[in-house]
Chain A
Amino acid sequence: MPSRARARILTALAATAAAAVMLAGCAGGGGSASGGSGAPDPQAKLVVGSSNEPTTLDQVYGGGSGITEVFTGNVYEGLFRITDDATVQPLLAKTTKVSDDGLVYTFTLQDATFHSGRKLTAADVKYSLDRFIGKDSVAARKRQLSVIDHVDVVDDHTVAVHLKQRSISFTYNLGYVWIVDSKAGDLTAKEDGTGPYRMTDYRKGDSITLAVNKDYWGAKPKNGGVVYQYYADPTALNNALLTGAVDVVTGQSDPDTLDQFKAAGDTIIEGTSTTKDLLAFNDRVAPFNDVRVRKAIYSAIDRKKLLDSIWDGRGQLIGSMVPPSEPWYIDLANNNPYDPALSKKLLGEAGKSAGFTFTVDAPQGGVYSTEAEFIKSQLAKVGVTMNINVITNDEWYQKIYTDHDFQATLQTHVNDRDINFYGDPDFYWGYDNANVQKWLSEAEAASTTDEQTALIKKANQQISDDAASVWLFLEPQLRVAAKGVTGVPKNGLNSLFYVSGIQKAAS
């Protein structure tokens, strides 16, 4: 019957029409509207787009990195500040005196005021440090600060921190610890810091608004305020930049989107990060307790190809746990080169010329499955069979991190200066080398940074020679800024993002 046939045609037409409408939209896509080409406007309000929303406002309450991106250096300050090139500068610690044995650090404090109006005193510093390493704290860098034995208030402006042992990285680690107002109480719903901005609005799931702190003790910010706007959906974040709803995106993880931003006149900022993708072995169990097997696996993987396929030529290859931003970096990218013939030879030496089978526990998530599939196909070429077991993040913490019940796993480590994990034989990968442990602890107890660097370099070389893990690559830090927006921090050290230097041109 003609009407029924027409119905069928109409259904098909409807589908085609939908497609046509979508393609028609192509003509109008792109074109960012924010920012002009004039001189920077010191009163300009910025919108920062991010997908890393803080889970809580208090760094001691939860270990996520989202809150570092918003608050550290902007709302809260530490005794020290870590700059974009990973150097340590004094901030709230006006002067520093270290005792000869390196166990007592005496700081005099800046004349700063908290956002609530109270003046900064040594008691606040003691309070902040105590609560950071306290029993209930789950702060992300608690482990590094556990070297503190106790804190003494010398006078209103002087505080003395006593350490259990020498720690040359101490001032560096203090760069992440917020100095909070001891009288502020619960900091999960509000803030009270000394920073150049104060938080005026917190909408969970949406945004955090920072306004300029008029009574800031230091240099005035170069803009008139910042709003961090959060997007869980990456497309929504990209669209926000394209429609001018945000001025800068803090972390772009899809390199294929960069062309459309360039076409719209946005600036792509590519810096280094401290995010390392690893294939970690359980160095305690067979066959990975044999260094030849580990080196064989390392050399069987074409890491450059993997990096290119995920990051389209950005990022870089690393040969150990140390990224270029750290003083003890050595270019070890080819220390265990991609060489399938070498791989087979090493397997033969280890008595595994017939190949073997193992299971890798991959946390769920797109990048891990891509890496797993790639590695699996690479290893197959040298006769090694890899089975992929997908687990949840939870299970990872239980099975691998706590129980050490695994053969190999994939993981991403975002912390800076985390080579120290290789000095802990109880860490999940169980790398146990007495020399490395010695060098790393001696490095920490060193009296000069040169000494420290020399010692850690030795450890660095050793873990690479031992192929303690396979360091697949270092992720790039990709940021995108709209036209006319300048001063965006280039490198991503653990999600630090200082906004006071960002400027927006008047349109």
Chain B
Amino acid sequence: MLLLAFVLAATILFVVLRVLGNPVYSLISVGATKEDIAAAAARLGVDRPLIVQFGDYLRQLVTLDLGNSFTSGLPVGPEIVRRLNVTLPLTLLSFALSMVIAIPVGFFAAWKSRTWYGTAFSAVSQVTGAIPVFWVGIILVFVLALGARIFPASGFPRTDWSDPGAALYALTLPVLTIAIVAGSELARYVRSATLDVLGQQYMRAARATGQSFGSALRRHGVRNGIVPVISILAIQLSTTFVGAVIVERVFALPGLGDMLLSGIVEQDFPSVQGVLLFSTALVLLLGFVADVIQRILDPRLRASLSGNRRVRAAA
């Protein structure tokens, strides 16, 4: 099923790219003759009939060969792996940090929702979640990098992860940027989920049987409340990845997002295909894993769905 979804995605991507783009003109410059343009098209293989190109594309995918970049001639697969060095830690750290921020904040905002400081937390997360991620980055750079020279304004060390201290230092502001925005959104979800849980029957029932609030929450509340939150975690990861694309531009980080943007600007089909297929595969996989976890945690879903995993809580 997953495989089918992936193949479908790959096909749609192929079609969309070829309908919309024309990579030849990114290679040539003013002064090129008609023969030059034709030669460039031949070299890229884009002058062949679409079916032939599609056949090649599928054949390469099967062997996990993502082809060579149209503009640089370098193989796409190894390039993606190299760039993951930057984007994977960036995404994971941001994701982790956003959860570390969001879960306590969301919970607190729900628990104290009747008080002014609870509403304050809620209000602040509304505002921070509304700031476009690139502006958060710009502000952080302005204050912490240009103003108080605590962090670098941009760049990722050429020593890569052989000097983890330097790498983390360079990633601090970018991670913070994404975490603030993604965390605010997550905090609102957590708050909503917690409010739901706090008002639910099983909480009252647990309290009525004499359990302490804390234990009732731990035993029933968290387990039930976490189910809808997990369902959006996969989407959160996707959001974090998109955030990474923009943040990599702000902080000049040589990651997958930068590769995608350059590929789009240069009409480099293999690079764009490679990054998008990779990220789609990743999110599909994570969605699948999230489904499994959900089903394990929530017996209601297990019983009523029996194989049809589609009818979930609207998310």
Which residues of A are in contact with B by a Cβ distance under 8 Å?
A: 2-4, 6-8, 10-11, 14-15, 18, 21-22, 24-30, 53, 55-58, 61-65, 135-138, 140-144, 186, 188-189, 201, 203-207, 209, 227, 229-233, 235-236, 239-240, 242-243, 245, 393-394, 396-398, 401-402, 411, 413, 415, 418, 421
Contact = CB atoms under 8 A, between A and B. Distances in A.
Given A11-B123, A239-B153, A240-B155, A138 B36 contact: yes
B26 A55 contact: yes
A227 B157 CA distance: 12
Contacts of A61: 27, 72-73
Contacts of A189: 73-74
Nearest to B79: A204
B61 interface: no
B31 A141 contact: yes
Contacts of A144: 31
Interface in B14-40: 21-22, 25-37, 39-40
A144 to B, nearest CB: 8
Contact of A10 (B39, B74, B123, B143): B123
A201 B160 CA distance: 12
Main secondary structure of the interface of A (DSSP, over half): mixed
25 contacts: A10-B123, A11-B124, A14-B124, A18-B131, A56-B72, A57-B72, A140-B31, A143-B31, A143-B33, A186-B73, A201-B158, A203-B158, A204-B74, A204-B79, A205-B262, A206-B158, A209-B158, A231-B154, A235-B250, A239-B154, A245-B152, A393-B26, A394-B26, A398-B25, A415-B30
B119 A4 contact: yes
A229 B26 CA distance: 22
Contacts of B26: 55, 62, 393-394
A239 B141 contact: yes
Nearest to B114: A3
Contacts of A188: 72-74
B153 A7 contact: no
A21 B148 contact: no
A37 B123 CA distance: 51
Given A142-B36, A204-B254, A14 B127 contact: yes
Contacts of B116: 2-3, 6-7
A14 B124 CA distance: 7
A207 B39 contact: no
Contacts of B39: 135-138
A245 B25 contact: no
Contact of B158 (A140, A207, A418): A207
B121 to A, nearest CB: 9
A188 B22 CA distance: 22
Interface string B29-58: 111111111011001000000000000000
A22 B254 contact: no
A6 B120 contact: yes
B107 interface: no
Quick one: which of B21, B29, B128, B249 has the most chain A CB within 10 A?
B29
A266 to B, nearest CB: 15
Contacts of B251: 236
**B interface: dominant SS:** helix
A204 B158 CA distance: 12
Given A21-B139, A142-B36, A236-B153, 15 more contacts: A10-B124, A11-B123, A14-B128, A15-B127, A18-B127, A55-B266, A56-B71, A141-B31, A229-B155, A236-B154, A239-B146, A243-B153, A245-B152, A245-B154, A421-B30
Task: Find the residue from B71, B127, B138, B252 having the highest chain A CB count within 10 A.
Answer: B252
A22 B29 CA distance: 43
B136 to A, nearest CB: 10
A413 B30 contact: yes
A232 B29 contact: no
Contact of A63 (B29, B35, B73): B29
A30 to B, nearest CB: 8
Interface string B117-139: 00110111011100100000011
Interface string B169-180: 000000000000
Contacts of A30: 146
A243 B127 contact: no
Nearest to B146: A29
A205 B83 contact: yes
A7 B29 contact: no
A398 B22 contact: yes
A204 B255 CA distance: 10
